[in-house]
């Protein structure tokens, strides 16, 4: 009898140990095609290794020009929650393990509530629409997107702007002349056509994508009206200038040939307006402006004019103006840094937040 009781106790202890054992870490590559505001879908692949390392790859179908890739480590919790080592503010970080599949959760660790919630499950079998094919570089000058409802905007400043909701037909309108609202650091485009109206306002204010956590330099407000008698519907989201149009901002001079031009006081700055092929700025003492040309990763300055005020930094300003008058520079943008260089000089600027 004692042997039976002892055996039962051992069995209970072993059973308890098994039930408290940490969830087994899944391994292998898991695939999904996530919802996308401005493309057929986001091809997402997550590879989990037995050493608790991961590799994440992502392509916006028909939109990405390169594969977005990130690596790191992951942890498993007793409740079957898998967490990639990322900043808590980042999306695509938490997953619930369901046998041979992973359910992507939002940043708070909750299931994503959406009409497309079934597309947030990753499996080891590639969906039929999964593709890592890349798009050739485009000449779109500005792109924006938003979530819930999903939407996207592309602006070709020489042609048209295209607004695409997740459901319904795209709204296409010519790009009108920009208008700068008073007392607001923004630019507005208001297109009114027979098919309706598309009003786009681009605010120079940092913006974070509510799903992926990706940061952008601009906050975008869109109002759309279908038909003359329809009502406006509003959308908010994030955007950035593309390609050469990334110059379309305000840049403060940090160094000229490796040295600060003005060590105490406001540095010279340049504001590029690619829409008007003009530049504006501050030389250190006076306002400056002139004509601008962009071609083959080169920027050219011409017809430079300045106001005629006197100040302590007038000598430094003359040096700066001399370096941009009738000059051409190769340009390179790396994050918040703009470098202008030619055979004689190098100027390094930083984007003004």
The pLDDT tens digits for 253-288 are: 999 999 999 988 899 999 998 878 899 999 999 999
Residue 134: inside a domain:
no
pLDDT at 204: 87
d(CA 22, CA 125): 26
Element (H, E) at 305: strand 298-306
pLDDT at 7: 47
Same domain, 206 and 260: no
Same domain, 236 and 252: no
**267: CATH:** 2.40.128.270
pLDDT at 17: 43
Question: To the nearest whole number, what is the mean pLDDT of the chain?
Answer: 88
Residue 11 has pLDDT above 60, yes or no: no
The pLDDT tens digits for 42-55 are: 999 999 999 999 99
What is the rounded average pLDDT of the residues 17-44? 81
Residue 235: inside a domain:
yes
- Domain containing 170 equals 142-241
Q: Where a domain ends, among 225, 241, 257? A: 241
Residue 16: inside a domain:
no
Same domain, 91 and 47: yes
| One-character DSSP codes across 83-122 | EESS-TT-SS-EEEEETTEEEEB-TTS-B--STTGGGGEE
Same domain, 289 and 249: yes
Starting at the edge strand found earlier in the chain, the sheet holding 233-241 runs 171-174, 160-165, 151-155, 142-146, 233-241, 218-226, 196-203, 186-193
Give 10's pLDDT tier (boundaries 50, 70, 90): very low
Element (H, E) at 37: none
Same domain, 174 and 254: no
The pLDDT tens digits for 91-110 are: 899 999 999 999 999 988 99
Give yes or no for a contact between 342 and 348, defined as CB atoms under 8 angstroms apart: no
**36: CATH:** 2.40.128.640
Same domain, 99 and 184: no
Residue 41 has pLDDT above 60, yes or no: yes
Q: Other CB atoms closer than 10 Å to residue 82's CB: what's the count?
A: 22
Q: Where a domain ends, among 241, 266, 292? A: 241
Same domain, 212 and 158: yes
Same domain, 307 and 221: no
DSSP helix/strand/coil, 176: coil
Comparing CA positions, the residue from 188, 114, 190, 122 lying closest to residue 150 is: 114
d(CA 283, CA 268): 5
Residue 81 has pLDDT above 60, yes or no: yes
| One-character DSSP codes across 179-237 | B--TTSSEEEEEEEETTEEEEEEEESS-EE-TTT--EESEEEEEEEEESTTS--EEEEE
Same domain, 306 and 347: yes
Q: Where a domain ends, among 224, 241, 258? A: 241
Same domain, 110 and 184: no
Residue 182: inside a domain:
yes
Residue 137: inside a domain:
no
Element (H, E) at 338: strand 337-341
pLDDT at 18: 43
pTM metric for this prediction? 0.52
In this prediction, what percent of the chain has a pLDDT beyond 90?
A: 60
The pLDDT tens digits for 132-164 are: 998 755 468 899 999 888 999 999 887 899 999
d(CA 254, CA 256): 7
d(CA 151, CA 202): 15
Residue 14: inside a domain:
no
Same domain, 273 and 219: no
Residue 132: inside a domain:
no
């Amino acid at each position: 009898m004692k042997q039976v009781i002892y055996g039962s106790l051992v069995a209970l202890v072993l059973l308890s140990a098994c039930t408290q054992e940490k969830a087994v870490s899944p391994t292998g590559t898991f695939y999904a095609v996530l919802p996308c505001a401005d493309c057929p879908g986001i091809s997402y692949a997550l590879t989990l290794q037995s050493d608790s390392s991961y590799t994440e790859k992502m392509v916006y179908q028909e939109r990405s020009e390169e594969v977005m890739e990130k690596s790191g480590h992951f942890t498993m919790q007793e409740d079957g929650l898998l967490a990639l080592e990322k900043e808590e503010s980042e999306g695509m970080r938490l997953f619930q393990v369901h046998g041979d599949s992973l359910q992507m959760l939002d940043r708070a660790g909750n299931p994503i509530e959406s009409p497309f919630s079934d597309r947030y499950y990753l499996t080891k079998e590639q969906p039929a629409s999964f593709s890592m094919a890349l798009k050739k570089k485009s000449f779109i000058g500005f792109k924006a997107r938003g979530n819930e409802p999903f939407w996207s905007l592309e602006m070709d400043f020489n042609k048209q702007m295209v607004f695409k909701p997740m459901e319904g037909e795209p709204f296409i309108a010519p790009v009108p002349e920009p208008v700068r609202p008073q007392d607001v650091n923004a630019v507005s485009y208001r297109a009114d056509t027979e098919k309706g109206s598309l009003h786009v306002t681009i605010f120079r204010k940092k913006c974070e994508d509510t799903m992926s956590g990706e940061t952008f330099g601009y906050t975008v407000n869109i109002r759309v009206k279908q038909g003359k008698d329809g009502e406006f519907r509003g959308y908010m989201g994030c955007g950035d200038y593309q390609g050469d149009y990334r110059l379309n901002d305000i840049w403060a001079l940090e160094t000229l040939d490796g040295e600060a031009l003005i060590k105490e006081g406001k540095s010279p700055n340049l504001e590029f307006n690619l829409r008007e092929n003009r530049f504006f700025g501050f030389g250190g003492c006076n306002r400056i402006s002139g004509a601008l040309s962009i071609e083959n990763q080169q920027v050219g300055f011409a017809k430079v004019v300045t106001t005629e005020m006197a100040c302590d930094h007038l000598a430094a300003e003359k040096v700066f103006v001399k370096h941009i008058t009738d000059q051409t520079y190769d340009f390179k943008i790396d994050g918040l840094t703009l470098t202008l260089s030619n055979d004689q000089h190098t100027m390094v600027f930083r984007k003004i937040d």
